[in-house]
Amino acid sequence: MNRTTVWTAVAGIAAGACALGAPVHAAPAQADAYTVTASINKTVAIGKEDVLKVRGRVTPKAAGQKVVLQQRVDGKRKWRPSGTATIKRNGTYKLQDDPSTPGTREYRVLKPASKGIAKGFSKTLTVEVYSWQRLVDRQPVATNVNVPTGVNIGAEFYGHSIATATLGAASSIEYTLGRKCTEMRATYALTDESVTGATGTVKVTGDGAVLVDHALAVGTVFAGETVDLTGVFRLRIDATRSETPAGTVAVATPEVLCTR
């Protein structure tokens, strides 16, 4: 009887030893928050022309869930949503935005919280957006020309233009660009109302440096010319026209590419 009891105790000890030696499989640790990477295809863009594309990856993958593109303009405090995308099986995503207004834009990507994992944000991506703007919509510094006005050149109408006003007199107008513009485009010519034989001149300067200098006659058209305005603070346009025969010099539909 005693022998049977002893063997039972030993067997119990051996079973306990086997249990203590068995491997223990712990549950995988859960991430505290989503990690979001992001990159953008452009850091300088032209409004209504360039499409911004933001790509990245979310960890843990969260396939089928959404990420949100957020943006804020010109240093404002509040972030606003501007698009969503579905996370792919490999954890990647692609978002895009088509900015229209000029200024400095900041973008970031949000992965909302889900399944016990806290939300995560990407780093901030900064883009400088430029847009084409009518020059005549800006406040001129000084003027003795007709502005804004419409003109006819080569039987084509150009709105939002600049034209000389006084026969035989020199005309000028200035605009402050504040070094926030990079290009200007315009057409230079005598208007269709100018008398045959009329002549004129037009000169565009940026901080005193000559950017455009044309002698004009009826039928001479410098169409759609583009000049570099990088670093220009003050833009000036000077024009002269003959009194007899009478002519009118026009800077037709001038536009500037600016970030403000």
Alpha carbon 257 to its chain centroid, in Å, reads 12
On whether both 155 and 63 belong to a single domain, the answer is no
Alpha carbon 72 to its chain centroid, in Å, reads 12
In a domain, 28, yes or no: no
Report which of 183, 237, 161 is spatially closest to residue 205, judged by C-alpha positions: 237
On whether both 151 and 250 belong to a single domain, the answer is yes
Which of residues 131, 146, 165 is at a domain's end? 131
**CA distances in angstroms from 248 to 39, 172, 238, 242, 243, listed in the order given:** 52, 13, 13, 8, 9
How far apart are the C-alpha atoms of 138 and 205, rounded to whole Å? 17
> For residue 10, is pLDDT > 60?
no
> Where residue 260 falls among pLDDT bands split at 50, 70, 90?
confident
Q: Which pLDDT does position 75 carry in this prediction?
A: 78
How far apart are the C-alpha atoms of 197 and 117, rounded to whole Å? 79
> For residue 14, is pLDDT > 50?
no
In a domain, 121, yes or no: yes
Contact by Cβ (8 Å): 249, 241: yes
On whether both 173 and 254 belong to a single domain, the answer is yes
In a domain, 6, yes or no: no
Percent of the chain with pLDDT over 70: 88
Q: Which pLDDT does position 23 carry in this prediction?
A: 56
Give the CATH number of the domain where residue 61 resides: 2.60.40.10
On whether both 88 and 142 belong to a single domain, the answer is no
- Whole-number mean pLDDT of the chain? 90
> Where residue 29 falls among pLDDT bands split at 50, 70, 90?
low
Number of independent structural domains in the chain:
2
Q: How many helices (H) and strands (E) does the chain have?
A: 1, 19
Which of residues 131, 146, 169 is at a domain's end? 131
In a domain, 18, yes or no: no
In a domain, 30, yes or no: no
In a domain, 3, yes or no: no
* Tokens linked to 15: 């079973």
Give the CATH number of the domain where residue 181 resides: 2.60.120.1060
Q: Considering only 22-36, 47-61, 93-107, 221-235, which range has the smallest mean pLDDT? A: 22-36
On whether both 127 and 153 belong to a single domain, the answer is no
Q: Considering only 15-19, 82-86, 199-203, which range has the smallest mean pLDDT? A: 15-19
Q: Which pLDDT does position 179 carry in this prediction?
A: 97
Backbone angles phi, psi at 12, to 5 degrees: -65, -40
On whether both 54 and 146 belong to a single domain, the answer is no
Q: Which residues pair with 97 in a beta bridge?
A: 52
> Where residue 167 falls among pLDDT bands split at 50, 70, 90?
confident
On whether both 108 and 162 belong to a single domain, the answer is no
Q: Which pLDDT does position 1 carry in this prediction?
A: 43
Q: Which range marks the domain in which residue 77 is found?
A: 35-131
**Termini Cα distance of the chain:** 101
Q: Which pLDDT does position 143 carry in this prediction?
A: 85
- What is residue 194's three-state secondary structure? coil
Q: Which pLDDT does position 3 carry in this prediction?
A: 47
In a domain, 239, yes or no: yes
In a domain, 69, yes or no: yes
Question: pLDDT digit string (tens) for 72-87?
Answer: 998 789 999 999 999 9
